[in-house]
Structure formats: C-alpha cells, structure tokens
Amino acid sequence: MPRYYTRACNFYYGLQSNFLVRKKKTLPLHNISEISFDQIEIITRKSKKTIFVNQINKLPYLLKKKINFDLKKITSKKKNFCNFKFNANPNLMGVLNLTPDSFSDGGKFNKKDKAIKQAINLFNAGAKLIDVGGESTRPGSKSITNKLEWSRINKILKILSKKIPLSLDTRKSYIMKKGIQTGVKLINDVSGLEYDLETVNVLKYYNTPFVLQHSKGSPEYMQNNPTYKNELLDIYDFFEKKLNYLRSIGINHNKIIIDPGIGFGKNLKHNMNLINNISIFHSLGFPILVGNSRKRFIKDISKNNDSKSRIGGTLASAIYLMTQGVQILRVHDVNEIMQGIKVYKEIIKN
C-alpha cells in the first residue's frame, strides 16, 4: 500500500460554516463550527484525488482506516496553552528582534527602552505572545556566540517577562535554558531542534512548550538553490519523523506547534505550494504557525509594487492562512494585521 497523506480542503468560514456544520454538510476543523470543510485531498508521491467527506465510506478498507485516523486528528479540539486560544481567530505572535542585522527590522529595537516600548505596543495591539530574538537567522546570516546572543536579550527578557508573555527565538540550548529560567513561556527554534542536539534535553527537562520549524540547511547557505523531491510531502515527513523521535525520548506533551518555515531553504515555488496547501499539516494533530510577515515571497510576487514594510502582502497571505485554519501567525505589524482580520470577518457576516 503506498504512503497516503490527507489534506482537508474546500473550507467554509464564519456564519456559512456554522450553518453547514449544523446541517451536517461539513466537518468542523478542530471541533470549531466557525471553520469547516467538506472535501479531502488524498495524496501520494505519484497522485492526487479529491473527494467529498461523505464519500469516505466507499474507499477500500485500509485506505478508509488511514483517512479516518487522520480525520480524527484534523477535527479534534486543540487545548489552549501559552496564552494562545485555539478558536476560529488566529493568534498573533509579535516579532521583537533585538539584533542589528535582522532582515526587516534589524537595528530598530535593539536598545532597551525602544525594545520594551515596542513589545508592550505589540501586546496591547493584540499579540498573544511576543517572540524575542537575539540572533538573526535571515538568509546569509552567520551564527553568533552564546555570550553575544544572551547579552542582547538578557536584561530585556528579565523586564518583559514580568509584564507580558514571551517566547524566545533561539537555536541554542544554553540560551533556551537561561530564557526558560528567566520566565519565557515558549521556545521557537527555527532549526527544528537540529542546530544544537542538546536542545531536546533542555526542553524535556523543563517540560517547555516549543515551536518545531522546518529549515533546509543553515541560514548562511539555505537559499543557495534549495531542492526537494516534493516540498510539501518532504516537509510533512520531516515533522512526522521528528515528532516520533521526540515521543521516543519522553517528550509526551501536546504543547508543540508546527511551522513549515516559509523562506527557510525554500524558493518562491516552494513557498507558494506550502501556503496554498498549508492545511495538509492539520493531519499531524498539532497547531500550525506560519511566519509570513514581510517575507521575500511578497517581493518576488509584487515586483514593482514591493515596499519595505510589505504589509499588503503580509495581510493578504494572513487572511488566506486564517481561512485554512492556521492557528498562529508570526507578524511584525500586529495592529495592521489585526485590523485587516477584523474587517474581513465583519464583511463576511453580511
């Protein structure tokens, strides 16, 4: 039997979704009636087939068993954690880079007073968590020492952790440990826990929630002609293998977030395929985070209409991701994205 993947598709959102769920025409995503679907795409390495959910019982026994197993994970309710509430509204994670060289805002907030003010502004605008980073992982960047990274974030973490919920964007076990001891609620490792093999032991010891991100290669070289057999399925397999490994070493909690890593070892085609088919990752059974904010794909698509802020492209992709059930969006412009989401949701009410 070939390897099958299940992607929920043909989503409905808002009042229409509520109505269709009540009529048993659609299945609710994560047991949330405001977002539902009535089709699934059955994918192998060689084929794709889309069927309505009411046709599943007509499938061969083993395939039907596999699809129903995936559907259970797709439709099951997700428990809230780290100030995230998993409902039809996407949680916004605000970005705070305390670096001189991050791709979009390097040098803007790496002074204490500016950093604290920005973090509180992002939180007050609607971010559920502020993601603090002291090392740039933009394409072409090089790793820095533990000492330098910790010196950039140490004092600000201590101040902010007493005021607002924080996550920590780091690849290093030393920084993770220090951050958790300072009060950080979530670890966000862009390397998928592969840069520093000691990170899994730190996360296991402290039982800390974390983001598991896919990244192909190190930031210094990741954009040098990245290739995949099938980026969507290759990345899905990466997550499945990594999750099985984490379970095998005793990390059994479900406070894990999946991030396909837009722009981390991906070209425009890869990024667009991932965003377009993002709902495949619901069958892993964990909340999905996407970092779409100000990314290079916006420039690649908009060309002459590109701007430094790229708010338009960020908002357009954010709304699409919301309607595909993505639970967390990591963004720089929290106020503007929150504004756009509110307006979109009010429009579709009428």
Nearest to 325 by CA among 275, 271, 264, 279: 279
- CA-CA distance, 156 to 138, in Å (whole number)? 22
> How confident is the model at residue 349, as a pLDDT?
84
> How confident is the model at residue 221, as a pLDDT?
75
> How confident is the model at residue 105, as a pLDDT?
53
Q: Which of 74-78, 96-100, 267-271, 312-316 has the weakest average pLDDT? A: 96-100
- CA-CA distance, 144 to 171, in Å (whole number)? 11
> How confident is the model at residue 30, as a pLDDT?
97
At residue 104, does pLDDT exceed 60?
no
pLDDT tens by residue, 1-24? 789 999 999 999 999 999 999 999
C-beta separation of 314 from 294 below 8 A: yes
Percentage of the chain surpassing pLDDT 90?
88
Containing 63, the helix (H) or strand (E) segment is helix 61-75
Mean pLDDT, range 133-147, rounded to an integer: 87
Q: How far is the CA of 150 from the CAs of 158, 201, 221, 342, 343, in angstroms? A: 12, 20, 24, 37, 40
- Strand pairing class (32-43; 27-29): antiparallel
Mean pLDDT, range 179-208, rounded to an integer: 97
C-beta separation of 116 from 150 below 8 A: no
Nearest to 280 by CA among 14, 13, 48: 48
pLDDT tens by residue, 276-335? 999 999 999 999 999 999 999 999 999 999 988 899 999 999 999 999 999 999 999 999
> How confident is the model at residue 111, as a pLDDT?
74
Nearest to 334 by CA among 163, 96, 133: 96
- CA-CA distance, 224 to 246, in Å (whole number)? 30
Nearest to 142 by CA among 250, 222, 64, 237: 222
- Strand pairing class (5-13; 32-43): antiparallel
Question: What is the average pLDDT score of the chain?
Answer: 94
- CA-CA distance, 245 to 225, in Å (whole number)? 29
> How confident is the model at residue 102, as a pLDDT?
47
At residue 107, does pLDDT exceed 60?
no
Residues spanned by CATH 3.20.20.20 within the chain?
Answer: 91-347
- Name the token pair of 70: 């995936």
Nearest to 11 by CA among 278, 248, 231, 230: 278
With 0-12 / 13-18 / 19 or more C-beta atoms within 10 angstroms meaning exposed / middle / buried, residue 299 is: middle
Catalytic residue among 138, 296, 310, 330: 330
Catalytic residue among 216, 295, 296, 310: 295
Containing 231, the helix (H) or strand (E) segment is helix 231-248
Task: Please name the CATH architecture into which domain 91-347 falls.
Answer: Alpha-Beta Barrel (3.20)
Q: Where are the beta strands (DSSP E) in 44-194?
A: 48-52, 91-97, 129-133, 166-169, 186-189
- Name the token pair of 337: 């994205």
> How confident is the model at residue 110, as a pLDDT?
65
| Cβ neighbours around 54 below 10 Å, total | 12
Q: At what angle do helices 199-206 and 173-182 cross, to 10 degrees?
A: 20
163 is catalytic: no
- Is the alpha carbon torsion for 197, 203, 204, 210 positive or negative? negative
Mean pLDDT, range 72-101, rounded to an integer: 94
Return phi, psi of residue 61, to 5°.
Answer: -55, -55
Mean pLDDT, range 43-57, rounded to an integer: 97
Mean pLDDT, range 258-285, rounded to an integer: 97
- CA-CA distance, 205 to 199, in Å (whole number)? 10
Confidence class for position 108, pLDDT limits 50, 70, 90:
low
330 is catalytic: yes
